[in-house]
Structure 1
Amino acid sequence: MKLKRKVEVAVISDVHLGTYGCHAKELLTYLSSIEPRKLVLNGDIVDIWQFSKRYFPKSHLKVIKKLIDMAADGVEVIYITGNHDEMLRKFSGTSIGNIRIADKVVLELDGKKAWIFHGDVFDMALTNAKFLAKLGGYGYDLLILLNRVINWCLVKSGRERYSLSKKIKNSVKGALKYINDFENVVSELAIQQHYDYVICGHIHQPKMMIKENKMGKTMYLNSGDWIENFSALEYQFKRWKIYNYQHDKLSAFYGDEDIKDMNIKDLIAAITIIDQKNQ
């Protein structure tokens, strides 16, 4: 039996299950490599905005089953709602076994407070939010599809993946200003509220940095995404780190053997009857 890395808290966000951009197989490999006490799903895990019955592959179902299995095995799973799964906000405060739904959460970690939320609440306050909204539409989906073809060729030739969408965002002044403003606004509010850590998703930019002003300081963290960056946040031994699948994948294992060969009907059946474990 393969050993798993013990992690006190793991945070993932912006998986966008149900879209062409989601890299579910890589995420399943990552989830299978860790044994967290708490798993925080920080928004946009299932993309309800763009959900289509025509596209929900087996690998995406496996991720859902894996998350439910982790909860059934004793992992505390906190699903924080985002803008692409905002329909779940009406269920905030609801718990099903070890899974609970919330709009935000504060965790006590070794005497320090971590404030965790998705981040879309700040879109209305930031002037360039419309750019990312447009980028997240059909044009973004087309770009992701093109990028997958390019990356397939790169991987086959033994070269590293390349992100067209990341390159475009990093070269557009409006996007860079939005990201910078987002980080500053979130951090300043966290400092005002005396939080030691503030953890977001939403902007698909993994980051860990100290933000400081005359009122104090906080550590700003962003879990990135599983479309462009394949990243997560992990807390262990009183410190945070960014996990990057591209560079740290040797720490991960392949997806669970018990669901490797399951067909779609079996996966759906396993997901729908899983609640019996918690009764």
Structure 2
Amino acid sequence: MKIKRKVEIAVISDVHLGTYGCHAKHLLTYLNSIEPKKLILNGDIIDIWQFSKRYFPKSHLKVIKKIMDFASEGVDIVYITGNHDEMLRKFSGTTIGKISIVDKLVLNLDGKKAWFFHGDVFDVSIQNAKWLAKLGGWGYDLLTLLNRGVNWYLEKRGKERYSLSKKVKNGVKGAIKYINDFEKVTAEIAIENGYDYVICGHIHQPKLELIENKNGQTTYLNSGDWVENFTALEYQFKRWKIYNFNKDKLAPFVVENEMDNMEMQDLIAAITIVEQEKKKKKDKKKKKKKKLDN
């Protein structure tokens, strides 16, 4: 039996389950190799924009089951909404067992402040996003709503949603400038708000860099994606690192054999069973507490 790597926090983003570009088997191999205390899903995990009932293979459903398994084992799961799964933003603030849905997250990591968010809200306008986000937490929330409003308007007009893909279509130079602007603005806002770490996704560019300006410094981190780069972020022993599936096969775990021959309905049933088991445990705790009170 292989020993799984213990990780305090694992961060993945831009998985795009439900699309042809998603490498779900790579992600499953990675998830099977770690034992995290907290798993942060930093947006665009399920691609609701491009979701099709005709394409959601078993490997994609297995990723969902693996995440549910983590939750049933006591792992804290934080789902930060992104632009491709922005429909979940209406459930922001909801917690079901060990799974919570949020638009952004701030954690204290060994005395340092870490700010997690997906990053799509900066697509509305890099320059406008900067001054609005400076206004504080509510300003960021307002920016999130503004982003949704812009996309709703564009859809009504029969136009494409505003996203990074538009920037890329304008040419490589434009895409590089957008990425540089994104990283610069993100870091500036983090510094001005006193965050030691700023962790995002969205632009599919894994990175870990200390960024300084006249007001201070912050560590900018991007978890990359599971479409091209196959990367994740890991926090352990007070340090961050980028895990790269192609280079860091620290433990070559395979997808669980017992799942290989399962039919789609079996996998759905397995996910349901996890939820039922969680409910049974809760009911047992309530009964036990009731007895003690009596």
Cα root mean square deviation, aligned: 1.8
Please tell me whether the aligned partners of residues 167 and 175 of structure 2 are also in contact (alpha carbons under 8 angstroms). no
Please tell me whether the aligned partners of residues 71 and 98 of structure 2 are also in contact (alpha carbons under 8 angstroms). yes
Q: Partner residue of 2:291?
A: none
State the SS of the aligned residue for 2:208. Answer: strand
Q: Once structures 1 and 2 are overlaid, which stretch shifts more, 255-264 or 9-18?
A: 255-264
Cα offset for 1:199?
0.2
The structure whose Rg is larger is 2
Cα offset for 1:131?
7.0
Q: Partner residue of 1:132?
A: 164
The answer on 1:273 being equivalent to 2:273 is yes
Number of aligned residue pairs: give it: 246
TM-score by length of 1: 0.85
The answer on 1:31 being equivalent to 2:31 is yes
Q: Which amino acid aligns with 2:64?
A: I
Cα offset for 1:255?
1.6
Please tell me whether the aligned partners of residues 65 and 267 of structure 2 are also in contact (alpha carbons under 8 angstroms). yes
Please tell me whether the aligned partners of residues 11 and 223 of structure 2 are also in contact (alpha carbons under 8 angstroms). yes
Cα offset for 1:135?
6.9
Q: Partner residue of 2:74?
A: 74
Q: Partner residue of 2:98?
A: 98
- Partners of 2:53 and 2:187 in 1: how far apart? 39
- Partners of 1:8 and 1:252 in 2: how far apart? 20
State the SS of the aligned residue for 2:17. Answer: coil
Please tell me whether the aligned partners of residues 27 and 230 of structure 2 are also in contact (alpha carbons under 8 angstroms). yes
State the SS of the aligned residue for 2:246. Answer: helix
- Partners of 2:71 and 2:214 in 1: how far apart? 42
Superimposed CA distance per residue, residues 69-106 of structure 1 (whole angstroms, 9 cap, x where no aligned partner): 01101110000000000000000111111110000001
State the SS of the aligned residue for 1:246. Answer: coil
Please tell me whether the aligned partners of residues 131 and 174 of structure 1 are also in contact (alpha carbons under 8 angstroms). no
Please tell me whether the aligned partners of residues 167 and 178 of structure 2 are also in contact (alpha carbons under 8 angstroms). no
Q: Partner residue of 1:234?
A: 234
Superimposed CA distance per residue, residues 99-120 of structure 1 (whole angstroms, 9 cap, x where no aligned partner): 1000000111111111000000
Q: Partner residue of 2:178?
A: 178
Equivalence map 1:34-183=2 (5 Å): 34-126=34-126, 132-134=164-166, 172-183=172-183
Please tell me whether the aligned partners of residues 4 and 251 of structure 2 are also in contact (alpha carbons under 8 angstroms). no
Cα offset for 1:269?
1.1
Q: Which amino acid aligns with 1:245?
A: F
Q: Which amino acid aligns with 1:209?
A: E
Cα offset for 1:262?
1.5
Cα offset for 1:126?
2.6
Equivalence map 1:245-260=2 (5 Å): 245-260=245-260
Q: Which amino acid aligns with 1:133?
A: S
- Partners of 1:135 and 1:263 in 2: how far apart? 40
Q: Partner residue of 2:18?
A: 18
Superimposed CA distance per residue, residues 52-73 of structure 1 (whole angstroms, 9 cap, x where no aligned partner): 0000001001000000001101
Cα offset for 1:134?
3.1
Please tell me whether the aligned partners of residues 14 and 226 of structure 1 are also in contact (alpha carbons under 8 angstroms). yes
State the SS of the aligned residue for 1:188. Answer: helix
Cα offset for 1:47?
0.2
Q: Once structures 1 and 2 are overlaid, which stretch shifts more, 267-276 or 68-77?
A: 267-276
Q: Which amino acid aligns with 2:166?
A: K
Q: What fraction of aligned residue pairs are identical, expressed as a percent?
A: 70
Q: Which amino acid aligns with 2:249?
A: K
Q: Partner residue of 1:203?
A: 203
Q: Which amino acid aligns with 1:79?
A: Y
Question: Quick one: structure 1 residues 131 and 55, their matched pair in 2 at CA, closer, same or farther if it must change by over 3 Å?
Answer: closer
- Partners of 1:186 and 1:250 in 2: how far apart? 31
State the SS of the aligned residue for 1:198. Answer: strand
Q: Partner residue of 2:263?
A: 263
- Partners of 1:14 and 1:252 in 2: how far apart? 22
State the SS of the aligned residue for 2:124. Answer: helix
State the SS of the aligned residue for 1:25. Answer: helix
> Where does structure 2 lack aligned partners over 5 or more consecutive residues?
128-160, 280-294
